[in-house]
Structure 1
Amino acid sequence: MSSQASSSSSSSARGDLRAFLRNARQSALTHLKDGPSSSSNPLVLIMGNGAGDADSLTSAISLSYLLSTYPHLSLPLSSPLPEKAIYAPLIQTNRSDAHLRPENVAILAATGIDQQDILYLSDLVDAPPKGLDLSLAKSPNFSPEHNTFLGLVDHPQLELPWTSGSSSQASRRVLLLVDHHADASQHQDASLRVFRQPEGSSDPNPTGSAQSIIIELFAKEIKADPAALPQGLADLAIATVLIDTDNMRPPPKGRASETDFAAVEALLPFSSLQSREKAKELQGKLLQSSPQEVKELLASDEFETSAFNEGKQELSDKTAAMASVLSASKAAIRHLSSLDLLKRDYKSSSLSADDLRGASKGLKAGFSSVNLGLPTWLHRAEGMGTSSEQESAQAWAGFWSSLREWMEDQALDVAVVGTSFRDEESDKHKRELVFAMRSSSETSAQEVGSLFDAVRSDLEDPTHNQLELQTPWKGARLSSTGKKERVSGIDGTSGKLEATNGSNDIVRAQVWKQGNARANRKVYLPTIMAALKKAASKGSS
């Protein structure tokens, strides 16, 4: 086992994060395009989940840099990592979709990172000259035979589009796994396999951010050689933990764990938060790179006086102003279209025919997380007011049309939309869940109907349902009746969606209030996938 950092491409970029990213991207593209003969060094692509949130973005960057720069002595390795490897962060979204996450745009710009220096999924799959036109599931260029390996952060297993579930699936080797989701018991042969489950689980040491685990792994090395840690990397990591923990808010109201606090404390001396002057400069850069609505929201004396103060303070006080900009940027999504909202924070999952015990085909499910309540989502467009039931019906028709289009574009059998928002009347955090299933050329409407009914019944079963799903859903108060609107456009019993012009498929859908507002996608995704597997297996037996 080598005790030294192994990336030869990083030697000239030591302490320079942007140079490291630029070199890593170019080295990865050259390796994947020209083949292993063009480089004697193994390539390890380190990637976050397909949602591309701040934790996935910055965890991929930080783990790649730290592995390339620092010794691996403190890592709990079960087997050696490859000698002289190139560690390159890969962001699992299209470069053209970067604007969908304004908090990411602000973080990168404020820390001096150019988007063009980062390797995005579109760089690999798009047709030339923009990309390499490679199939993530089938191309041999991503296989160990090509001297290419994978590392996963912020998700527990290799997922679509890297897996196809078919015999034509090329071999893939996951060497690294660092995550704060539930352990999916996959990639047991990974050299580095570290899990901290989310808050509320049985894990005695839950963690709010995957980024915090990465800093914990390298804490000794960073302390021994602080000059090798760029200020920009410290700022990136702290920003991510603040987003994931709501500015270091501990349980039960927040998700900040001891690991999160330790990570931020370890990074503070090397970050812009080490002094008032640097802190205000960083906050100014974050605000400058944020959407206009964020600038207007935070252009107040309250924001200015909440800035970093030198001297003894609570950690959350030191980070309050920075967290305010990041939180507001993350919430600045009302201008996005419904399709953009469905795409912005999206993860896919699948069940193969083997998973379903002999079913004729597998299932592809997509999970969109949206921090906007349905009442606001439905009525934010011009002309979609809340004065009458007719306007409510029109708003719902637009929503269902977008969801159907999204399912068709992504070839989804199942679409799930989880909303998270603060209710204006009660000032409480609330969640909603939309579950939809679609027929296709391979799945009849009858099959979909039976499966939909079984899954809906399972999810609503109060004896074991941790989501606490409730009906009926109630939305905005209609001025014409004084009553709150109800779901429109689907049959209340069967869940069948009203027909749409030009569409031959049948969609069944259900909208719930989610009583357990603490159950985020880390909870409802595996719950729904388990219900799908259970129902589909029974149906095929």
Structure 2
Amino acid sequence: MPNFAEFTVEESFADLTIKDSSKKVSKDEVSGDAIAEQGSRNASSSSACPHHPSEANDKRMHSLQSFLQSGKEKLLAKLSGLSSAGDENIVIIMGNDAADLDSVASAIALAYLLTALPHPRLGHANGRTTLYVPIIQANRSTSPLRPENNLVLQITLGDSASMLRDGWLPNLTWLDDIADALSESTAHESIAMSSANTSAPALRRRNKFHQDVLATSPKLGPANGISFGLVDHNRLGPLWGSKGMEREVRLIVDHHADEQAHLTVPLRWIKPPDADPVGSCASMVAMLFQGQWLSKEKHTSGGIPITVADLLLTAIALDTDNLKLRPLGKGTKHDAKAYNLLLPFSSLADPTNRARIISNISSMMPQLVPNHLITSALFGSVPEKDVAFANQLTSPPSPVLVKRTNTEPDPDTPTQERIDALRDMVAPAWKSISFAKRSVIYHLSADDFLRRDCKIMSVTAGAVAIGSKMQLDLHIAFSTIPTSMSALVYGFEKTPIKKPEEERQTLWDAWWRALDDFMAESDLDFAICLMRCREKQRTQDEKDKHMRELIIIHRQSTPQGQLAPPPVFSGLLKGLEQETYISDGAAYKEAPASPLRLMLKQPWKGKEIPSSGKRDRLDRVGLEGNWLGSPSGNTLWVRAYRQRNAKANRKVILPVVLSVLKHFNFP
């Protein structure tokens, strides 16, 4: 079985690396198109043969497991300061801190492809071997919050029984693995932070301890041969250290708004949503090496393992709703090209393997999805389509019928007929993975919801404001929550508002307390909760409407009793309500489909209360929006909105919030 040393960059890419390693690689040499073209020059002029699973590919699947395990061992040995640690350069490849499937799959695939396929050297000048090690930018304890990740990783990496038994995917590297390794090499008393205690307060203390270790350790700097590669985000987050802490970024592949950070990295490929959008970062990873994928020699038994194609393909499917193209969906021409490129290399290209995968999903689902959802609908708000699909999972799988289609990879944009055929082949797996993702919401706590899909950013308020009398460094969490605030506060019941007033107030206090604890753990100044769900209409003839709510929470570390909200909170609300972030003037605001317009409506109104006939309002907060129940003596300032532009998701809201804060003029 191959070991990690056999995949080293200098040995595998010697014929294509830049000879003068101190020379900065030009933008053209390292762009996605350039790398693809470099590989395609060696490709056969004829169409490549379909790459179906075989015994050789099974061996390559195991090599991916060895790649992950060996990389983890070498990284942790270096961070622990063990004498056995080598002197290699290590580039930590990681997705964003929401740790969704797109981030996880992109990080694993990019690390493997950078190791296994030729590419320009990424700037190391010390002549040492470079290792690319993927990590998940989340703690291992959060794994159950992402059943779709676990499902895909277990199917693609194999041996699901041992993965469940050994604590969820032991070959992968998590944040707490890194923090534990760093704490072992310092004076920190990591024993006091034992993982044996799994109570909520103990987990919060442990997470805070890990954050301190990651933010302050010099062992994560270039002096120790450590640098970073970012996928699915383009700025190293505050978790990894303050502005004065030396951290080095060597590559960025992302499809979010460009935050103008790390501008001199050797490989910086960003496709922002307002320019040339891409639905999934996994599509960019696939297209980065398009030429090498299509090269004739890569179709031999020594080629790319099918697991890499499966990881990328399932991530694109989940992010784009199985390639649902704009304007109705998030998919774009780039995602269609990636689908077309990957499918022939994937398990899903073969009908027999496709049926086997669905059978494996059915057998694994009860381990990942709450039993009550598999057997029956105990909660009245569980969508009927989810209940029906869950009940199917307990029955033997039916044969998978798909249209016969040519599976040859085509580098050009596929036709609509080809796209339809690709979607047909992916649909059974995509539906199962989507169901796993949706099912988790019916048994999560408020704290789970806040952490499950959260990105933490740093911004300096007043940084670009003309005449501002001060600047203020802020930490902000953006949590996407797939339900309404009423459902989150009251639970998933048919008639959640039919509760006594005293019980309703207790539930609201519990929600605000969960927010306060969540913000205190990471020293957050703001939490932005982006709620989304489908809202039932009054008549059966009307279709359920897609609905979004936006909740702004500011945590103020001052004594209670302040009557007026702080200026930075009021300034953010004013900027969002008056849409000052739109620079094109009033005419631009008149366009109802403007992608930047949030179209916020207040006061927030939840579900109707039967006893009064009125809709629910925020509870346990003062007239100015302040909740005073924090046991730490802090004040939470709260504002909630109904968001009339239901298409504005986090990709829109996050840069808008940061822009308003940067331009805030402190009085």
Displacement after TM superposition at 1:311 (Å):
0.7
> What residue in structure 2 maps to residue 104 of structure 1?
149
For each residue in 1:32-82, what CA deviation from the matched residue of structure 2 results, as whole angstroms up to 9, or x when unmatched?
Answer: 222799323210000111111111111110000000001116x9x799897
AA at the equivalent of 1:369:
T
Residue 173 of structure 1: aligned partner = 248
8 Å Cα contact 2:461/2:662 also seen in 1: no
- The aligned residue for residue 495 of structure 1 is 625
Deviation at 1:446, TM superposition (A): 7.1
* Residue pair 1:350, 1:364 contacting (<8 A) in 2 also: yes
Deviates more, 1:475-484 or 1:249-258: 475-484
Counterpart of 1:517 in structure 2 is 646
Instruction: Call closer, same or farther: CA 1:217–1:397 in 2, change over 3 Å.
Output: same
- Structure 2: which 5+ residue stretches go unaligned? 1-6, 14-58, 164-168, 185-189, 196-208, 376-386, 406-419, 538-542, 583-595
Give the SS at the match of 1:351. strand
Q: 1:358 to 1:35 in 2, by over 3 A?
A: farther
Supply the distance in 2 between the matched residues of 1:157 and 1:306 (Cα, whole angstroms). 46
Structure 2 residue aligned with 1:451? 568
Match of 2:422 in 1: 315
CA contact (8 A) 2:65 2:171 kept: yes
Partner of 1:94: 139
CA distance in 1 between partners of 2:434 and 2:144 (Å):
16
Q: Is the 8 A contact 1:231 1:270 kept in 2?
A: yes
Corresponding residue for 1:328?
A: 435
SS in 2 for 1:216: helix
1:31 matches 2:78 = yes
- Paired position in structure 2 for 1:220: 291
TM-score, normalising length from structure 1? Answer: 0.88
- The letter for the 2-side match of 1:529 is L
The aligned counterpart of 1:282 is 357
* Greater Cα offset, 171-180 or 352-361: 352-361
Name the counterpart of 1:508. Answer: 637
> Relative to 1, partners in 2 of residues 1:299 and 1:276: Cα closer, same or farther, differing over 3 Å?
farther
Q: Which amino acid aligns with 1:135?
A: V
What CA distance in whole angstroms lies between the structure 2 residues aligned with 1:380 and 1:146? 48
Q: CA RMSD in A?
A: 3.2
Partner residue in 1 for 2:66: 19
Indicate the SS of the match to 1:208: coil
Work out which of the residue numbers 384, 404, 426 in structure 1 matches 2:516: 404
Distance (whole Å) between structure 2 residues aligned to residue 42 and residue 429 of structure 1: 48
Larger C-alpha radius of gyration, 1 or 2?
Answer: 2
Residue 190 of structure 1 is matched in structure 2 by: 265
1:64 corresponds to 2:111: yes
- 1:147 equivalent among 208, 225, 231: 225
* Aligned residue number for residue 604 of structure 2: 473
Higher RCO, 1 or 2 (CA under 8 Å, sep at least 6)? 2
Please say if 1:377 is aligned against 2:488.
yes
Looking at structure 1, the residues matched to 89 and 630 of structure 2 have their Cα atoms a distance apart, in angstroms, of 52
In 1, Cα distance between equivalents of 2:325 and 2:471: 47
1:533 CA drift (Å): 2.7
Give the aligned length. Answer: 523
Q: Which 5+ residue runs of structure 1 have no aligned equivalent?
A: none
- 8 Å Cα contact 1:5-1:72 kept in structure 2: no
State whether structure 2 residue 230 is matched by structure 1 residue 157.
Answer: no
- Name the counterpart of 1:45: 92
Q: Which stretch of structure 1 is more off in the superposition, 85-94 or 286-295?
A: 286-295
| 3-state secondary structure, aligned to 1:242 | helix
Q: Secondary structure at the match of 1:228?
A: coil
- Report the counterpart of residue 259 of structure 1 in structure 2: 334
> Which of 311, 321, 335 is equivalent to 1:236?
311
What is the DSSP-based 3-state SS (H/G/I as helix, E as strand, rest coil) of the residue aligned with 2:291? helix
Summarize deviations over 1:151-197 as a string: whole Å, max 9, x none.
000001111201323xxx33111001000001111111111111112
Percent of aligned pairs sharing the same letter: 31
Alignment equivalent of 2:447, drawn from 329, 335, 339: 339
TM-score of the superposed pair, with normalisation by structure 2:
0.72
What letter corresponds to residue 443 of structure 2 in structure 1?
Answer: H
* 1:351 CA displacement: 2.5
Specify the code of the residue in structure 1 equivalent to 2:107.
A
Give me the whole-angstrom Cα distance separating, in 2, the residues matched to 1:177 and 1:359: 32
User: Displacement, 1:242?
Assistant: 0.8
Q: Does 1:482 align with 2:482?
A: no
Q: Distance in 2 between matches of 1:280 and 1:213?
A: 28
CA distance in 2 between partners of 1:513 and 1:295 (Å): 33
- Rounded Cα–Cα distance in structure 2 between residues aligned with 1:67 and 1:442: 52
